[in-house]
Amino acid sequence: MQCPYCAHGDSKVIESRTTADAVRRRRECLACGRRFTTYERVEVSPLQVIKKDGMRETFSREKLRRGLLKACEKRPITSETIDAMVDRVERDLRQAFEREVTTNQIGERVMAVLREVDQVAYVRFASVYREFKDVETFLREILPLLDKERGQGL
């Protein structure tokens, strides 16, 4: 494994952990001594995303992560939580769809996960994903969240 800091070709594994869909390894470079993390994932057949215009592209974890980061910007959500959300959405998609998934199906799953984690991030994502045109549309999305909070005695 090549060190991301000094490009040396040797490192030693300090710790390994199995996650839901990967093996996480903490490594230490034998040249510079800096530590870094690698993830080993089982390679599966690529999931194709069908976009709104009918075009297809390969599913990208990084694109999903960027969307979640944007929705969670300036919110008290850790990187680990965002990574866990990415893992959960990808796992759900791979279990539910063998080869192809629409952007609509991805968006609905992302919103379901965000709704549980952070309501502000959820509304941000929903406003872009559902292309809110006016304040009324925002209210239709926010009122059920408020009703749910009131029902829980908050």
42: DSSP letter = -
Of 82, 144, 87, 148, the residue nearest 117 (C-alpha): 82
Q: State the average pLDDT for the chain.
A: 91
Q: What pLDDT shows up at residue 8?
A: 95
Could you tell me the pLDDT band of residue 37, with boundaries at 50, 70 and 90?
Answer: very high
d(CA 139, CA 127) in angstroms, rounded, equals: 11
Q: Identify whether the C-beta of residue 8 lies closer than 8 Å to the C-beta of residue 29.
A: yes
Torsion sign across C-alpha atoms 78, 141, 67, 64: positive
d(CA 126, CA 103) in angstroms, rounded, equals: 13
CATH no. of 1-43: 2.20.25
Q: What pLDDT shows up at residue 12?
A: 96
Q: What pLDDT shows up at residue 153?
A: 55
pTM passes above 0.75:
no
Q: Nearest 5°: phi and psi at 96?
A: -90, -30
Q: What pLDDT shows up at residue 87?
A: 93
Which single residue is written with the structure tokens 């903490």? 26
Q: What pLDDT shows up at residue 1?
A: 84
**Three-class DSSP category at 129:** helix
Q: What pLDDT shows up at residue 49?
A: 97
* Terminal alpha carbon distance of the chain: 50
Could you tell me the pLDDT band of residue 140, with boundaries at 50, 70 and 90?
Answer: confident
Least confident of 35-39, 44-48, 145-149: 145-149
Give 39-98 pLDDT, tens digit per residue.
998 777 889 999 999 999 999 999 999 999 999 999 999 999 999 999 999 999 999 998
Q: What angle do CA 112, 87, 152 make, to 5 degrees?
A: 35
Which ranges in the chain belong to alpha helices (H)? 61-71, 79-96, 103-117, 119-129, 135-151
Q: Identify whether the C-beta of residue 49 lies closer than 8 Å to the C-beta of residue 57.
A: yes
Strand partners, 50: 56, 102
Q: What pLDDT shows up at residue 20?
A: 74
Q: What pLDDT shows up at residue 134?
A: 85
